[in-house]
Structure 1
């Protein structure tokens, strides 16, 4: 599709490749799970990802004795891409603009809607089409520590890490809500050194990267911090973003000033529906643990 096409002449199609790639990059920058997890490109809506659960063994061999053999154990989890959509009401005047110009203007709005929904689903299972999420994995394994279990937050975090380590995994990342930063800044080791280090490109806790969610996706009633081996969480991304122009729909999830759903026909509006496809899968539940809020 030519980038200079007018929107009213191109009522559905694919977002121009350059802009589509930019939106996907924006989504990756705004999403905590995409910054932490292992990403897999997907050429179709399903992808089988071989994962080795145990390796081949080595054996001591006596002189002239036959060498024992063993084989690695593999599992073959399947990533299934699901459609994620955002609908943005706009004035009919936008129909006179080029497809390229419209999506350039809406790029930030589309990206934010996508990465907020992705993090909500991957961390908490909120409105999720996927069978797994980080909180479910931690809960199913009993890998939960309540904040305040110890006298200080750093010891609570250490105990949370220990739950992952007990399963034979190393914690290689943390995810947390933005509001906990103040508490982390106050943490010190025995020598007075800060345990939480804020950097330009990366923040660290116990010298491990920590990513703070500030896109509205975090549920503070369910978790304060996730600790995990995020190589055991897979995000599959299909290339390309598609769109469709809606002219007659009633947007039940979007209300106007009168608190009634927006009716495109009645209010002389149109809406742009943008869609992308991605999959999410936790391949090892015990690789994740959660520091949870204090129960009353």
Structure 2
């Protein structure tokens, strides 16, 4: 078969394999068929690789006999013309890293050759430039995503993280840190009589201090997926990687412990308004409204401009509030229904990073009100990716070997930190047991 026929057959085999492995309870015959498909796929991939190497050898042989050594042009397959999104570019990178690591072992020297062989030399060039700027990442087997592409990936994460969806103020941590004096209490103005002295106000200040800290996401990628088409891996990057990074970012941004290697979450900053929720597990409407009103007033009494304020709560709390009904069986909060819930005129973000197992009763949660316009999110100059087929990871308290389970682990790392301009920009209701 020629190259076109081989690629068509590979696509056909991948489709047949996908049908087999998606069965809920594969039989022994199914497992045998899967083994056969894998063997056929590996054979076709080997034939494609042989033809590619033969084509490259033929191109080298066509160089003039008197051409200086090292000047021969390296040929690559026809390049994809359409513009790729950041997710597609990163998907191409991850696919190439995983495949090169599986075929050649550690090191990045084969990653970009794999990208070029797949027809993405232009994309490989973008990553090659970034790699040259970060030799340590390349030496450790990782690849650094260019800064402009990193910004696009942050945008990709926004739907997956409630913190970024709130649109905090974004600042760059190119030098590793960002400092800014911010008013913690504003100046005052007073009327005076003619000839009277003007009373000087005494504003106090709080320094915004962002220091880059690494946020990592480790996601296992089955080696069967690596054998699939590039489009499948792109889909995985856009879904699983962004979800994992989003969950980790939410947890650190809201509740980070503030250790040497972790941000201090905005709800853990000293001075943030905190009150106890009213009502226990079955609060009255008056108790619910009183708790919410107290959080709102903590901001309104400080004259904060609340144009980007949102509620952040656990799914349990949201479901409890959205299901509340009055005496006539009418929903008390109908605006909490649907994909974009609103409560008391402000959007609601739900996240499992707001825990529901706290306190002595082990069923306490928190309700947050955040004025995101006064929240700062600092991000580093790039996002890096690394790959391993030998590492282990922990899932549900159990250590899992990538090698033993035929997995490839992809680690994504970014630098980030958070801080607030005013402590009044965050208000927390503790001991929320509503719906427990």
Q: TM-score range by the shorter chain?
A: 0.7 to 0.9
Q: Which protein is bigger by CA-based radius of gyration?
A: 2
**Could you say if the C-alpha distance between residues 226 and 147 of structure 1 is closer, same or farther in structure 2, counting changes exceeding 3 Å?**
farther
**Could you say if the C-alpha distance between residues 233 and 33 of structure 1 is closer, same or farther in structure 2, counting changes exceeding 3 Å?**
same
Are 1:197 and 2:335 matched, yes or no?
A: yes
* Local SS of the residue matching 2:382: coil
Q: Out of 87, 101, 104, which is 2:218 matched to? A: 87
Query: Equivalents in 1 of 2:332, 2:226: separation in Å?
Result: 54
Aligned to 2:401: 262
* Local SS of the residue matching 2:198: coil
Contact 2:333 2:343 in 1 (8 A): yes
Contact 1:255 1:261 in 2 (8 A): no
Aligned to 2:320: 183
**Could you say if the C-alpha distance between residues 75 and 138 of structure 1 is closer, same or farther in structure 2, counting changes exceeding 3 Å?**
closer
1:49-93 Cα distance to aligned partner (Å, 9 max, x none)? 332122222232322444344364322120122111122333557
**Could you say if the C-alpha distance between residues 198 and 127 of structure 1 is closer, same or farther in structure 2, counting changes exceeding 3 Å?**
same
Q: Out of 217, 225, 228, which is 2:353 matched to? A: 217
Query: Equivalents in 2 of 1:20, 1:121: separation in Å?
Result: 19
Aligned to 1:248: 390
| Structure 1 gaps, min length 5 | none
* Local SS of the residue matching 1:113: helix
| Structure 2 gaps, min length 5 | 1-88, 101-109, 112-140, 358-363
Query: Equivalents in 2 of 1:66, 1:293: separation in Å?
Result: 50
**Could you say if the C-alpha distance between residues 51 and 164 of structure 1 is closer, same or farther in structure 2, counting changes exceeding 3 Å?**
farther
Query: Equivalents in 1 of 2:164, 2:226: separation in Å?
Result: 33
1:100-130 Cα distance to aligned partner (Å, 9 max, x none)? 9855542211111111112222333379712
Aligned to 2:428: 289
Are 1:50 and 2:181 matched, yes or no?
A: yes
C-alpha displacement at 1:28, in angstroms?
1.3
Aligned to 1:227: 369
**Could you say if the C-alpha distance between residues 189 and 46 of structure 1 is closer, same or farther in structure 2, counting changes exceeding 3 Å?**
farther
CA RMSD of aligned residues (A): 4.1
C-alpha displacement at 1:283, in angstroms?
4.9
Are 1:152 and 2:284 matched, yes or no?
A: yes
1:217-242 Cα distance to aligned partner (Å, 9 max, x none)? 33112425222434443322335321
| Pairing 1:1-40 to 2, within 5 Å after superposition | 6-7=96-97, 8=100, 9-10=110-111, 11-15=141-145, 20-36=150-166, 38-40=168-170
Contact 2:291 2:429 in 1 (8 A): no
Contact 2:378 2:418 in 1 (8 A): yes
Query: Equivalents in 1 of 2:148, 2:383: separation in Å?
Result: 11
Query: Equivalents in 2 of 1:206, 1:255: separation in Å?
Result: 38
* Local SS of the residue matching 1:44: coil
**Could you say if the C-alpha distance between residues 237 and 285 of structure 1 is closer, same or farther in structure 2, counting changes exceeding 3 Å?**
same
C-alpha displacement at 1:48, in angstroms?
1.4
* Local SS of the residue matching 1:174: strand
**Deviates most, 286-295 or 272-281:** 286-295
State the number of aligned residues.
287
**Deviates most, 238-247 or 180-189:** 180-189
Question: By percentage of residues, which structure has more helix?
Answer: 2
* Local SS of the residue matching 2:356: coil
Query: Equivalents in 1 of 2:187, 2:322: separation in Å?
Result: 43
Aligned to 2:192: 61
**Could you say if the C-alpha distance between residues 57 and 159 of structure 1 is closer, same or farther in structure 2, counting changes exceeding 3 Å?**
same
Query: Equivalents in 2 of 1:100, 1:15: separation in Å?
Result: 19
Query: Equivalents in 2 of 1:108, 1:51: separation in Å?
Result: 37
Question: By percentage of residues, which structure has more strand?
Answer: 1
Q: TM-score, normalised by structure 2?
A: 0.54
List structure 1 runs of 4+ shifted beyond 6 angstroms: 16-19, 93-101
C-alpha displacement at 1:37, in angstroms?
5.8
C-alpha displacement at 1:163, in angstroms?
4.6
1:178-219 Cα distance to aligned partner (Å, 9 max, x none)? 2333432355799x8844514777422111222222xx4331
**Could you say if the C-alpha distance between residues 273 and 36 of structure 1 is closer, same or farther in structure 2, counting changes exceeding 3 Å?**
same
Contact 1:185 1:196 in 2 (8 A): yes
**Could you say if the C-alpha distance between residues 36 and 105 of structure 1 is closer, same or farther in structure 2, counting changes exceeding 3 Å?**
closer
